[in-house]
Amino acid sequence: MTTSFTKLFIFTRAYIKSMRLYYAFITGIAGWIGVSFYTFCEPDQTSQPRNILLLAMLFLSWGINQIINDYQGLPEDRINAPHRPMVTGELSPIPALAVSGVLMAGVVAVSWFLNPLSVIPVVLGVGLNILYGHAKTWSLMGNVIFGLSIAMCTAYGFLAAGPTPTPLFNSNRICVLVLVALMNGLMTFYTYFKDYRGDKRAGVKTFIVRHGPRAARYAGLVGALLPLGFFLLCLRMEWIPFNSILYPRDFIFCGTMATLLQVWTAILFFRNPTGESTYFSLAMNIRACAAGQIALIAIFNGTLALYLFSASYIFIGFLFNLYKDARS
């Protein structure tokens, strides 16, 4: 009995470590955009317990899917991150994948009960995540697919929060999905700097492998302004009319801080595109992406956005500091 308990404890600890929960704010806040927007549009059709359940699933969804990514990325992780549990053998791949499969099946079942349409972004998100494991070799296409997979969290939060609203699509909602995909595609672009050596040896032809980290750092500087540029285009084309922003001061504050964090992230990787510092720059990278998503929440819930901005900045740093080993 003691041996079985010890094995279960070791497996659970390794599984949780592999979830890398400092990234959970990415999927959690992406989904929170959808939940918050639905709550604003249909306040009588949702409930607090329902929203709490949704947010718990959204925050954990990164880690559940991360197990799949670790399994698909074993060849390059043996070089880039040899201390990860699945590489060292501390986490057995098949049982870990089985646990993730069971948890995802549970999410599908709950989602079907909440709103059958919400199963669609769940299935698409998992499918895109699996495709991403192969798409990393397709240069920037891997970043596009990753961004789309996170945008499915926003769609899921909106659909699962209550009965399907009519109309389902409009320019505002489409622009928000594109912005979420763009910010997350950019976020994962910067993560490839730390994996450059291993990706190159494993034949994973990311943009940075194809063009080299010195050249890619200039692309990173340009990319830092893409979310702001696309948002300004949405305003100019009135896809997101400025008068639809209910909390302009809170939005401008969150948007400005997100842009500054994004630019600072680009500068960090520009100054040090290789070496161990690329790992520790990830904390700022994650914060910048989370802040950009929070700015979208500020459009219709300024107070919540300000709370989220403060909490996410602190807790991302706290959780990231639990992973001080750059090779894990």
Q: Is the pLDDT of residue 305 over 80?
A: yes
Q: Round the average pLDDT of the chain to a whole number and report it.
A: 93
Q: Is residue 15 part of a domain?
A: no
Tell me what percent of the chain is helix, strand and coil, each rounded to the nearest 5. 80, 0, 20
Name the band, by pLDDT with cuts 50, 70 and 90, for residue 2. low
pLDDT at position 201 over 60: yes
**Cβ–Cβ under 8 Å, residues 242 and 283:** no
Reported as a pLDDT band with limits 50, 70 and 90, residue 259 is very high
In the predicted model, what is the mean pLDDT of residues 3-30? 92
Instruction: Report if residue 326 sits inside a domain.
Output: no
Q: What residue type is assigned to position 100 of the chain? A: S
Q: Of the ranges 43-52, 230-239, 248-257, which one carries the lowest mean pLDDT score?
A: 43-52
Q: Looking at the domain assignment, is residue 309 inside a domain?
A: yes
Is residue 12 included in any domain, yes or no? no
Task: Give me the percent of the chain exceeding a pLDDT of 90.
Answer: 79
Q: How many structural domains is the chain composed of?
A: 1
pLDDT in tens, 160-197: 999 988 888 889 999 999 999 999 999 999 999 999 98
> Between the CA of residue 142 and those of 48, 69, 114, 230, 279, what are the distances in Å?
36, 13, 31, 20, 20
Q: Which tokens sit at 220? A: 């990173």
Over residues 22-27, mean pLDDT: 96
Is position 10 within any domain? no
Identify whether 328 is part of a domain. no
Task: Provide the token pair at 258.
Answer: 């997100």
The pLDDT tens digits for 77-97 are 888 889 999 999 999 999 999
Q: What is the mean pLDDT of residues 221-243?
A: 94
22 contacts 290 by C-beta, under 8 angstroms:
no
Distance, CA of 137 to CA of 154 (rounded, Å): 26
DSSP-derived secondary structure for 137-187: GGTHHHHHHHHHHHHHHHHHHHHHTSSPPSSS--HHHHHHHHHHHHHHHHH
Q: In the structure encoding, which two tokens stand for residue 197, read together? A: 């050596």
pLDDT tens by residue, 97-136:
999 999 999 999 999 999 999 999 999 999 999 999 888 8
Note whether residue 112 is domain-resident. yes
CB 191 within 8 A of CB 146: no
Residue 147 belongs to a domain? yes
Domain residues for the domain of 152 are 22-320
Angle made by CA atoms 218, 223, 227, in degrees to the nearest 5: 165
What tens digit of pLDDT does each residue of 33-50 get? 999 999 988 888 888 899
